Amino acid sequence: MTRGTPPDQLVEHALERSRGHGCVVLLDESRTANLRWASNTLTTNGATRNRSMTVVAVTGDGPGASAGVLSRCVADTDDVAALVADAEAVADASPPEQSAMPLVRGAASPQFTDPPAESGIDVFEPVVGPLAEVLAASRTDGIDQYGYAEHVVTTTYLATSAGLRHRHVQPSGHLTVTAKKDAASTWTGVATRDFTDVDLGALDVDLRTRLEWSQRRVPLSPGRYRAVLPPTSVADLMVYAYWEMSALAAHEGRTVYSDPGRGTKVGRRLTDSRVSLRSDPEHPGQECSSVVLAHASSPVSSVFDNGLASPATGWVEGGVLRALVQTRHSASLTGLATTPGVDNLVLSVDGGTGSVRDLAARLDEGVLVTSLWYIREVDPRTLLLTGLTRDGVYWVSGGEVVGAVDNFRFNESPIDLLSRIHDAGVTRPTLSREWGEWFPRTSMPALTVDGFNVSTLSEAR
């Protein structure tokens, strides 16, 4: 046993111990830190360190190969040797896997031997002081704040028996705050890579403005209304639309992107022609892996594709569906280009200008949403989603917020909404309230859409 072995050496050790036809090794070194508060006082917190190795042991060659995929925390070379042996035993006992392909060949990156990136509870130093001030001011002013800050840095070491050596560092962080005063509630959130750019004071000003808007109540009846959706809510809807973009599922005939029984809708008009939806590993401030890092196979990723380039891809361009999320296997079935998923998402609308406040100022009459919540699929044929507004909906008249209305349940399809755009803002980084925890890198404009379905009202505040 060799404790303190560097991560790249543990990965090399795994490959050396491999006795099968092929082997893929992913080692994830993660560091997390979090702070959580409620009613202006800290509730829980934590700092964790984790090292998990995934071994894909391949038995057989090319199509017809079996994969034993096993992930486990590892401390030393003995653990690694046991993991490889166990993964190979699983591979030997497994039937061939559908998406089996030759392993990805590649060169060794010089960064592969670098140590993992570090983080700890001290990452919050830029915000702890301001947070204490904000909480103190909230107590004075009768406002209750509830919030959460999290930082995660994961360094992934990927190596294959076909020669590839790749290291990827992924920082992710976010801070979200809910503020309550009397019967009013509101929310804000930001994504960040390191907390140096989080302006708690500015967030607090925004929260206080919204609480002020809630002092006056305005009645609302179910029906269809012009609605301003902030970037966070647009992200909620677009992330779901992206998660449904499995080329394999579309090909089988089970999604909104299917031409059932015939194939996919790739090449067809899907939305307003001003719309484009793209992913780009180099998107500024939201950089993510430019190669496939697959810890398990699913309809949208294959362990055999580990290390495959995942370049910038336009999913929807000029309103036309251009690509769906592929593995090499699904690309061969669908006859479309191999366009792997990318871990960020950028929506833009040609001609969009301004912020969510600007869109509200340009609105004659309608609702202004703060955030959406509990979004679930009702009908996959149209991608009809249900969900609710949360922490404040406001009525806008003549470009001015005149008061708060009840929260409400909607039933809407994000695809359909992209054909009902009345006004659009400029694309900017945002945190999806519902999905940001799993998909933190999104850039979205605010959108004003026509005929938003206020299905039933909710008295939740």
Partner 1 sequence: MPLDPSFASLPLDVLADAAIDRARGLGASHVDVRVERTRSRHLSLRDCVLSGMHDGEDVGVAVRVVLDGTWGFASTVDLTPEAARQAAETAVTVATMSRPLTKRRIELADEPAWRGTWVAPYALDPFDVRVSDAVAVLADYSERVLAHRAVTHVTATLDAVRENAFYADSAGARTLQQRVRVAPVLEALGVDPDAGSFDTMRSLAAPVGRGFEYVTGEDGVHDWDAELGELGDLLAERMAAPSLPAGRYDLVIEPSNLWLTIHESVGHATELDRALGYEANYAGTSFATPDRLGSLRYGSELMNVTGDRTVPFGLATVAWDHEGVQAQQWDIVRDGVLVGYQLDRASATLLPGGPGRSNGCAYADSPSHIAIQRMANVSLMPGQDDRSAADLIGDVTDGLYVVGDKSWSIDQQRYNFQFTAQRFYRIRDGELAGQVKDVAYQGRTPDFWAGLAALAGVRTWVLGGAVNCGKAQPGQAAPVSHGAPTALFRDVNVLSTLEEGSS
Residue 57's alpha-carbon distances to 27, 51, 254, in angstroms, are 14, 19, 31
The residue whose two tokens read 């309230």 is: 433
Torsion sign (Cα): 276, 281, 287, 293: positive
DSSP 77: H
Task: Indicate the residue among 284 and 459 with the shorter CB distance to partner 1.
Answer: 459
Q: Which stretches does DSSP call E strand in 74-130?
A: none
| Shortest separation between residue 177's beta carbon and partner 1, angstroms | 7
Give the C-alpha separation, 366 to 372, whole Å.
17
To partner 1, the closest distance from the beta carbon of 436 in angstroms equals 11
| Choice between 106 and 173, CB closer to partner 1 | 173
- To partner 1, the closest distance from the beta carbon of 280 in angstroms equals 27
Which residues neighbour 309 within 8 Å (Cβ) at sequence distance 6 or greater?
A: 290, 291, 340
**CB of residue 303 vs partner 1: minimum separation in angstroms?**
8
- Taking the complex as a whole, the smallest distance from the CB of residue 218 to partner 1 amounts, in Å, to 19
Nearest approach, Cβ of residue 361 and partner 1 (Å): 25
Query: Tokens 């309809």 — which residue?
Result: 299
What number of residues does the chain have? 461
The set of residues, in sequence order, having a beta carbon less than 8 Å from that of 133 and lying 6+ positions away, is none
Q: Determine the 3-state secondary structure of 6 from DSSP.
A: coil
**Beta carbon of residue 159, minimum distance to partner 1 (angstroms, whole number):** 19
CB closer to partner 1 out of 335 and 380:
380
Q: Which is nearer to partner 1, 52 or 348 (CB)?
A: 52
Cβ–Cβ < 8 Å for 315, 321 = yes
Question: Which residue's CB is nearer to partner 1, number 280 or number 439?
Answer: 439
Q: Closer CB to partner 1, residue 79 or residue 317?
A: 79
157, 305 in Cβ contact below 8 A? no
Q: From the CB of 57, what's the least distance to partner 1, in Å?
A: 11
Q: Are 421 and 278 in contact (CB under 8 A)?
A: no
Return all residues near 418 (Cβ < 8 A) that are at least 6 apart: 270, 271, 272, 275, 319
Residue 209, both tokens: 């403005």
Cα–Cα distance, 316 to 273 (Å, whole number): 10
Specify the 3-state DSSP secondary structure of 373.
strand
Q: What's the closest the beta carbon of residue 238 comes to partner 1, in angstroms?
A: 18
Nearer to partner 1, 218 or 333 (CB): 333
Gyration radius of the chain's alpha carbons: 24
Closer residue to partner 1, CB minimum distance, 250 or 396: 250
Residue 445 CA to residue 343 CA, distance in Å, equals 18
Nearer to partner 1, 380 or 399 (CB): 380
